[in-house]
Structure 1
Amino acid sequence: MERRTFLELLAAGVITAATGAAAGIFLPKLIEEKSEFGFGKMGAALPPIAEDVNVYPSAIPIIFEPPRVTQVPVPFGTISSIPHHPGMFALTVDDGISSHVVREYTRFAQETGMRLTFFVTGQYPSWSENIPELRPLVESGQIQMANHTWTHPSLLKVSNGQVSSELGQTHDFLLKNYGVDATPYFRPPFGNHDERIDSVAASLGYTTAVMWHGSLSDAGQITPDQLREFAGKWIGEKRIVIGHANFPAVTECFGYIKDLILERKLQPVTLNDLYLKR
């Protein structure tokens, strides 16, 4: 077939992917090493997309659609659940010690539509190393970035100036690298806070301390079986659940978490999905 004729047929959609491959035109191959979500092996690089070849992201089955929700004003003070939003569930992910785990959480979101709120400890390289993959999801609103201090100290043990610095450094990092103002949500490390901490945080715009109803208990190393047990116990309606991007056990549990959310007919949400800033 003459090149001109081939290109005309290709533009018209007549030439199939198989014919295009035979003609030397690259089309991504997603048949081998499928993940449990059907998109590609977890942790494997996505195949490059050649110029002038139209590969539609809609080929990826999105399991969790964006929520339809009536937003309410952000609560002041401390929250550990989302009582005004029946059927909804917020998975929040702390720290980010492991760049690999942050990347796999991001891939989980890409493949399923899962909505996540990351509480970022800004000193960890994972948040810089995964910007290219994370930022589009942050910009779309599927992933939210919130403040978990810069070095993860117990704020009860540091001065007011240090509290301000810890929150301020991560605030500036997120604004510069992700284009987001992370206020008003912060999570004090270890959940340790009091009126003094809350007052300093509020002076910076962080008026809502976010605790949790239940935990995947994976701040340290646990087994995938243990993590699945905690997920089964705590993932539920109107709950804020805390996990961590620190150790790899959770990357073996994404399929279980996905199925659990579907089985319990829950809608994953970010905090920004639910609340309007005052």
Structure 2
Amino acid sequence: MARLSDEQRRARRARAKRARRRRRHLAGGALLGVVALIAGLALFASGSDPTGDAVAEAEATVARDAPAADGGRAAGRARERAVPKVAIDAIPPLRAGTAEVVQRGPAAGRKVALTFDDGFCADCVTTLIRQLERTGAHATLFPNGTYGSSWAPHARAIRRLVAAGQVIVGSHTFSHVDSPAVGAAAFGADLDRNERWIQQTFGLTGRPYLRPPYGAYDAGTLAAAGERGYTKVVMWSGTVADSNLRSRAYILNAIEHWARPGAIILLHANYPPTAEALPEIVRILRRKRLRTATLQELIGGSPYRPAG
């Protein structure tokens, strides 16, 4: 057999590499096709929303059966989505109690709570909700009613994520008030206003989770919150410091630094890089053998319980 020249060997290796790449692409396309077929059959049978439970179930089924060559990413998404359904048909009655300040959760279970405040950027909220749906990441939302125009278009999707056990909604007050500065009475009125907005918009209660704006509270704040059923005053053990615009690299470095079992991490739905970075945030957590959790999953307290 004639010896191949160096140029011929390089050309042969390049052709082999292209062939492997085409096979991977074809396998990925086939996998997506199976997802679409299963979702379509489920939708035909149930008549449900195509962005709802049928698609999530189909994706989880295909991800569970996918070959190991995907590096475990599909299986990871399936595990994130494998959560019990939650009964949210009725808003639970107010139960007053003593407000407890919580900064972090237990290390057991290797859970991390991603919490998102505010939402004055409508496009950022849109991206955040879509990224939660795509990644299956669990999170807690702390919206302000004053930014209601950002959140209202996603009310149905958020309610669906809550019902799936993937998201919990808390309160960040209506007007983003500095509670010690305005006093307990004004703070309580603003908290009441945000609770009404949460109920009217999402058909849910924000109780018992309160994220005080600026992390500011005093004895009057705690008393007013407890009287209104907000008995979990949630601070944080780490932050990506994105109340100002930060780069994606900055955000990911902060996650690398703060992500550890039981962490409560403060983020905002205010600037594009935060929501856009969510898939990478999830990958970092998985690499650290951590999993995303709602506050209910991390510290308990939600009146919404798994259905059935």
With the length of structure 2 as denominator, give the TM-score of the two structures.
0.67
The answer for unaligned runs of 5 or more in structure 2 is: 1-27, 64-76, 85-96, 304-308
Counterpart for residue 265 of structure 2: 241
Give the match for residue 96 of structure 1. 119
Residue by residue, what CA displacement relative to the aligned partner does 1:188-223 show, whole Å, maximum 9, x if unpaired?
100000111101111111122100000011111111
- Give the equivalent residue in structure 1 for 2:190: 166
CA 1:216–1:66 in structure 2 vs 1: closer, same or farther (change >3 Å)? farther
- Residue in 1 aligned with 2:173? 149
Q: Mark the CA change 1:66 to 1:241 in structure 2 (over 3 Å): closer, same or farther.
A: farther
Alignment correspondent of 2:224: 200
Structure with a larger share of its residues in helix: 2
Structure 1 outlier segments of 4+, above 6 Å: none
Does residue 115 in structure 1 map to residue 120 in structure 2? no
SS state of the match for residue 119, structure 1? strand
What is the count of residue pairs matched by the alignment?
A: 229
Partner of 1:227: 251
Secondary structure of the corresponding residue to residue 130 of structure 1: helix
Alpha-carbon spacing, 1:133–1:277, altered in 2? closer, same or farther (3 Å): closer
- Tell me the residue number matched to 2:284: 260
DSSP 3-state at the match of 2:252: helix
1:267–1:75 Cα change, 3 Å: farther
Q: Match of 2:255, as an amino acid?
A: A
Superposition deviation, residue 147 in structure 1: 0.4
What are the residue-to-residue correspondences of 1:129-144 with 2, within 5 Å? Answer: 129-144=153-168
Q: Give the % identical residues.
A: 25
Give CA-to-partner distance per residue, 1:209-254, whole Å, 9 cap, x none.
1000000111111111111111111122111001000000113312
Equivalent-residue separation in structure 2 for 1:75 and 1:230 (angstroms): 33
CA distance in structure 2 between the partners assigned to 1:65 and 1:137 by the alignment: 10
Partner of 2:240 in structure 1? 216
Whether contact under 8 Å (1:88, 1:238) holds in the other structure is yes
- Residues 208 and 231, structure 2, Cα contact 8 Å, conserved in 1: yes
> What residue in structure 2 maps to residue 188 of structure 1?
212
- Partner of 1:93, secondary structure, is strand
**C-alpha displacement of 1:79:** 0.5
Q: Choose which of 82, 85, 92 in structure 1 pairs with 2:105.
A: 82
Is 2:128 the partner of 1:105?
Answer: yes
In terms of Rg, which structure is larger? 2
In structure 1, C-alpha distance between the alignment counterparts of 2:98 and 2:252, rounded to whole Å = 31
Shift in Å, 1:67: 6.1
| 1:269 CA drift (Å) | 1.0
Distance 1:266 1:91 in 2: 12
Q: Who is 2:152 aligned against?
A: 128
Answer yes or no: is the 8 Å Cα contact 1:67–1:273 preserved in 2.
no
